[in-house]
Amino acid sequence: MTHLVGQDGILSTPAASHLIRSTKALGGIILTASHNPGGPDNDFGIKFNCENGGPAPEQVTNKIYQLSTAITEYKIVEGLEIDISKKGKNEYVVNDKPFTVEIIDPVKSYADLLEQIFDFTNVRAYIVTNVMIILDAMFGVTGPYVEEIFRKRLHLLQPNVARTTPLPDFGGCHPDPNKTHAYQLVRTMEDMPYEFGAAFDGDGDRNMILGEKAFYVSPGDSLAVIAHYLEIIPYFKRNGIQGFARSMPTSAAVDRVAAKKGKDMFVVPTGWKYFGNLMDAGLLCLCGEESFGTGSNHIREKDGIWAVLAWLSIMAYTDKSVADIMKKHWAEYGRDYFTRHDYEHCDLAGCQYMMKTLEETILDPKFIGRQYEAGGKCYKVKMADNYSYTDPIDKSVATNQGLRIVFEDGSRIVWRFSGTGSYGATIRMYIETYQKEDYLRDVKEVLQPLIEIAEDISDIVRLTGRFGPTTVV
């Protein structure tokens, strides 16, 4: 059986599709498997919707993995030089057969799409006269999009955009939009009178939002604020508002907005692919993850530029600063204090042992009701599990999606293996608590008792061989 692995996935998001334009030569990889367990010879043997452009669902990635274990040889098309400056259909010959490659301009089509979603006239008037902005493309693919959308169509001036030339090595930086890796943006905003800042990751699907003096908006809060103001965005005025969703480790801030608006709220495992079925079924229009992804049903991926335009639309509508928008939100809904501690690139065996032991501890029925004291407070275990999810549409089941403890006051600790780390094992530990009134305190100070409990229950410091988390988000 033979499959041609093509470029379809890369074209699934407008921003990511720019990768094709940055790639000098494209080739196909032909995978040859000795047999196809359980499926007809000419397809994956399963039905799935590949027309929505979204990430492959679990059943497809499982099948790909299964097939990959049966590969006996692969062939590479060598010497296929494609001129990506020639837009339109280009014909080549591969193995004596015609091979068509279509080159598109994703920047224009994406910018046109956003112009239909947001009120560009309104946003333009606001950003030209009312607010000092800085956008950091971190040498990733969003650079040309930032130039087209913010500079050309929204009239932002040159000093308001940074690092917009995509570089193959991202200029030696790690294009991760968080306070650790986007520290240049953070420093710039601390020192200069910018009132709104955002950074994007390498492929432009994730974002970090900052206010004046680098006021940090956590991804869970960003999602909740956008949910609160969704009606002001023309796309949602036209299409209506369906449900909201978040990944399980993401803070519950958006749940409170969903409850107030009477909207369905879905909680799914980590990974954007879990949102697709809900969107295709018309149940979901806004979703986000703690990993700095925010998006809507305008496409089937998270979208950093979309999130920035949503925030600018909200600022234009409210005429408030980022910090004031957040404070007003917390005053109305209360605040979900949230942090993530990453133990990165650790010894795999130690991490597996830690997760196995932790799972045994928390799944022991005697664990429920156990009390932990820290910071002068007592936390009593209400529920603990290894999170699993049944997709409400196709009924597929995802297991082992994170170890979770919920205390009686609603505070929560989650541990899960990162699925994206490049070497060794990375464990992410998420800590969250909710306060209705006391919403202006320091996050670390509020969460410190729970951090101590989390470290104590899991023995994470000793078993990962670290002195503490390598990154705190």
Query: Taking contact as CB under 6 A, which single stretch among the options 148-156, 164-172, 365-373, 413-421 is the one that binds ligand G6P?
Result: 413-421
* 271 touches ligand G6P (CB under 6 A): yes
**Of 266 and 272, which has the nearer Cβ to ligand G6P?**
272
* 330 touches ligand G6P (CB under 6 A): no
Give the integer Cα–Cα distance in Å for 151 and 162: 11
Give the integer Cα–Cα distance in Å for 13 and 34: 33
Task: Give the residue from 340, 350, 314, 306 showing the smallest Cα distance to 430.
Answer: 340
Per-position DSSP letters for 187-215, written without gaps between them: HHHHHS--SEEEEE-TTS-BEEEEEGGGE
**Of 36 and 291, which has the nearer Cβ to ligand G6P?**
291
What's the min distance (Å) between Cβ of 271 and ligand G6P?
Answer: 5
Task: Give the residue from 322, 308, 317 showing the smallest Cα distance to 145.
Answer: 308
What kind and span of H or E run contains 82? none
What's the min distance (Å) between Cβ of 201 and ligand G6P?
Answer: 9
**Of 166 and 293, which has the nearer Cβ to ligand G6P?**
293
Residues from 419 through 448 that contact ligand G6P (CB under 6 A): 419-420, 428
Binding mask 275-304 for ligand G6P (x = CB under 6 A): --------------x-x-x-----------
What's the min distance (Å) between Cβ of 272 and ligand G6P?
Answer: 4
Give the integer Cα–Cα distance in Å for 323 and 225: 12
What's the min distance (Å) between Cβ of 293 and ligand G6P?
Answer: 5
How far are the Cα atoms of 15, 285, 350, 418 from residue 141, in angstroms, in the given order?
A: 7, 25, 37, 24
**Of 154 and 199, which has the nearer Cβ to ligand G6P?**
199
Query: Taking contact as CB under 6 A, which single stretch among the options 162-170, 266-274, 382-390, 394-402 is the one that binds ligand G6P?
Result: 266-274
Residue with token string 């335009």: 309
Q: What is the DSSP letter of 146?
A: I
Instruction: Tell me the three state secondary structure of residue 430.
Output: strand
Query: Taking contact as CB under 6 A, which single stretch among the options 128-136, 264-272, 348-356, 437-445 is the one that binds ligand G6P?
Result: 264-272
Query: Taking contact as CB under 6 A, which single stretch among the options 37-45, 184-192, 265-273, 450-458 is the one that binds ligand G6P?
Result: 265-273
Binding mask 110-149 for ligand G6P (x = CB under 6 A): ----------------------------------------
- Residue 440: count of CB within 10 angstroms of its CB: 11
Q: Is 458 a catalytic residue?
A: no
* 418 touches ligand G6P (CB under 6 A): yes
Residues from 2 through 21 that contact ligand G6P (CB under 6 A): none
> Binding ligand G6P by CB under 6 A: which of 178, 222, 242, 270?
270
**Of 212 and 289, which has the nearer Cβ to ligand G6P?**
289
Dihedral pair phi/psi, residue 158, rounded to 5°: -55, -45
CB 243 within 8 A of CB 279: no
Query: Taking contact as CB under 6 A, which single stretch among the options 145-153, 349-357, 416-424, 460-468 is the one that binds ligand G6P?
Result: 416-424
What's the min distance (Å) between Cβ of 419 and ligand G6P?
Answer: 4
Total residues at interface with ligand G6P (CB under 6 A): 10
Residues from 356 through 395 that contact ligand G6P (CB under 6 A): none
Residue 404 bridge partners (DSSP): 385, 414
Cβ neighbourhood burial of 7 (10 Å; 0-12, 13-18, 19+): middle
Q: What is the DSSP letter of 171?
A: G
Instruction: Tell me the three state secondary structure of residue 440.
Output: coil
What's the min distance (Å) between Cβ of 312 and ligand G6P?
Answer: 24
What's the min distance (Å) between Cβ of 428 and ligand G6P?
Answer: 6
**Rg of the chain (C-alpha set):** 23
Query: Taking contact as CB under 6 A, which single stretch among the options 126-134, 168-176, 267-275, 378-386 is the one that binds ligand G6P?
Result: 267-275
The pairing of beta strand 196-200 with beta strand 133-136 = parallel
What's the min distance (Å) between Cβ of 144 and ligand G6P?
Answer: 22
How far are the Cα atoms of 29, 194, 325 from residue 189, in angstroms, in the given order?
A: 45, 6, 18
**Of 88 and 419, which has the nearer Cβ to ligand G6P?**
419
**Of 14 and 271, which has the nearer Cβ to ligand G6P?**
271
All residues at 6 or more sequence positions from 129 whose CB lies less than 8 Å from its CB, including other chains: none
Task: Give the residue from 454, 222, 443 showing the smallest Cα distance to 339.
Answer: 443
Task: Give the residue from 240, 242, 195, 239 showing the smallest Cα distance to 215.
Answer: 195
What's the min distance (Å) between Cβ of 291 and ligand G6P?
Answer: 4
Per the residue annotation, which of 17, 22, 34, 291 is the catalytic one? 34
State both tokens at 26.
């494209």
**Of 365 and 419, which has the nearer Cβ to ligand G6P?**
419
CB 213 within 8 A of CB 366: no
- Interface residues toward ligand G6P, by CB under 6 A: 270-272, 289, 291, 293, 418-420, 428
Residues assigned a catalytic role: 34
